[in-house]
C-alpha cells in the first residue's frame, strides 16, 4: 500500500499504528510508521486557506473535518485532529486539544482541554484524558512502540506519558504523575518495584511520589527523585468516584 491508502485505513480505524497480541503485549506496526514518514517526505509546506488561513504545514497533512454523522464532538475553540488519525464515534474533544497523525482514540473517550495525543498513540474506550495531559508521540526510531492507554483508564490533570509506556485497563493516574520507560514504579500494595518500562497494572491507582538518591552527596543534601507509586487497586468506592458522566456524552 502507498501512504495515501495507509492514511485512509488509519482514519477509518481499519489499520492501527500498534496492536496487541494474544498475550496482551503491544507491538508497533512498522509499515504504518514508514507510511507516515513517507507522507512527511513527499509533502510540501503550503499556506492553508479557508478556515485554516494563516497556518503553514505539509499540503498532504491537513486537519481532518467532521460532520454530525461522525458522532464526534469537536467543541469549537482551537482543537485540531491531524490527518491519518482515528477518532471513534462518541469521542469528545474539548478546546484546545490536539490529536496527531497515526493516533487512535476509541469510543467514549474524552480528550480534555490542553491535552495532547501524540503521533501513533493508542487510546482505548471510555478513557478520560484530563486537562493538560501530555501523551507523547513516536515516529522514530521506526520500531519503537507508542504510548498505550487501555480501556477505562483515567488519566488525571497534568500527567505526562512518554517513551512508549503502557497503562493497562482501568488504571488511574493521579494528577501530575509522570511515566517514562526510565522511571521505576513502586507498588506499595504488593511491596515490589516494577521493572523499568513495565506496564502500569490493570486497575492500579498511581500517585506521584519520591525516592531518596543513593550516593553520599545526595544523601547529605537530602535529595530525592520523582517516582510513581501504586497506593491501591480499584474497588467499588473508587469506581464510584471515577464514574464517567454519561450526560456529557
Q: What are the residue ranges spanned by the domains of the chain?
A: 3-248
The single residue listed with the C-alpha cell 484546545 is: 96
Cβ neighbours of residue 60 under 8 Å, at least 6 residues apart? 39, 42, 43, 83
Which CATH number is associated with domain 3-248?
Answer: 2.160.10.10
> CA angle, corner 103, sides to 100 and 183, nearest 5?
95
Confidence (pTM): 0.94
pLDDT tens digits for the chain (249 residues)?
899 999 999 999 999 999 999 999 999 999 999 999 999 999 999 999 988 889 999 999 999 999 999 999 999 999 999 999 999 999 999 999 999 999 999 999 999 999 999 999 999 999 999 999 999 999 878 788 999 999 999 999 999 999 999 999 999 999 999 999 999 999 999 999 998 889 999 999 999 999 999 999 999 999 999 999 999 999 877 777 777 666 566
B/e letters for 28-45, b = 16+ CB within 10 Å, e = fewer, are bbeebbebbeebeeeeee
The single residue listed with the C-alpha cell 515490589 is: 192
Residue 24's H or E segment, with its range, is none
Please give the pLDDT value at position 140: 79
227 CB-contact burial (10 Å; exposed 0-12 / middle 13-18 / buried 19+): middle
Please give the pLDDT value at position 152: 97
Please give the pLDDT value at position 50: 87
Distances (CA, A) of 31 to 10, 147, 212: 12, 17, 43
Please give the pLDDT value at position 72: 97
Amino acid at each position: 500500500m502507498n501512504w495515501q491508502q495507509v492514511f485512509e485505513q488509519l482514519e477509518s480505524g481499519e489499520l492501527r499504528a500498534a496492536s496487541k497480541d494474544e498475550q496482551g503485549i503491544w507491538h508497533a506496526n512498522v509499515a504504518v510508521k514508514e507510511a507516515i514518514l513517507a507522507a512527511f517526505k513527499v509533502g510540501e509546506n503550503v499556506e492553508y486557506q479557508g478556515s485554516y488561513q494563516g497556518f503553514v504545514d505539509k499540503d498532504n497533512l491537513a486537519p481532518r473535518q467532521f460532520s454530525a454523522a461522525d458522532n464526534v464532538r469537536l467543541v469549537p475553540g482551537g482543537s485540531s485532529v491531524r490527518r491519518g488519525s482515528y477518532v471513534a464515534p462518541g469521542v469528545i474533544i474539548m478546546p484546545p486539544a490536539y490529536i496527531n497523525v497515526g493516533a487512535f482514540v476509541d469510543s467514549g473517550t474524552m480528550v480534555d482541554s490542553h491535552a495532547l495525543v501524540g503521533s501513533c498513540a493508542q487510546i482505548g474506550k471510555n478513557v478520560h484524558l484530563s486537562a493538560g495531559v501530555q501523551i507523547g508521540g513516536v515516529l522514530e526510531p521506526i520500531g519503537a512502540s507508542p504510548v498505550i492507554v487501555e480501556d477505562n483508564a483515567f488519566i488525571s490533570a497534568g500527567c505526562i506519558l512518554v517513551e512508549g509506556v503502557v497503562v493497562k485497563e482501568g488504571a488511574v493516574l493521579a494528577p501530575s504523575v509522570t511515566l517514562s520507560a526510565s522511571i521505576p514504579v513502586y507498588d506499595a500494595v504488593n511491596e515490589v518495584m516494577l521493572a523499568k518500562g513495565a506496564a502500569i497494572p490493570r486497575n492500579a491507582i498511581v500517585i506521584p511520589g519520591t525516592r531518596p538518591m543513593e550516593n553520599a552527596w545526595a544523601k547529605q543534601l537530602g535529595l530525592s527523585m520523582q517516582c510513581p507509586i501504586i497506593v491501591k487497586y480499584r474497588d467499588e468506592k473508587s469506581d464510584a468516584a471515577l464514574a464517567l458522566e454519561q450526560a456529557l456524552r
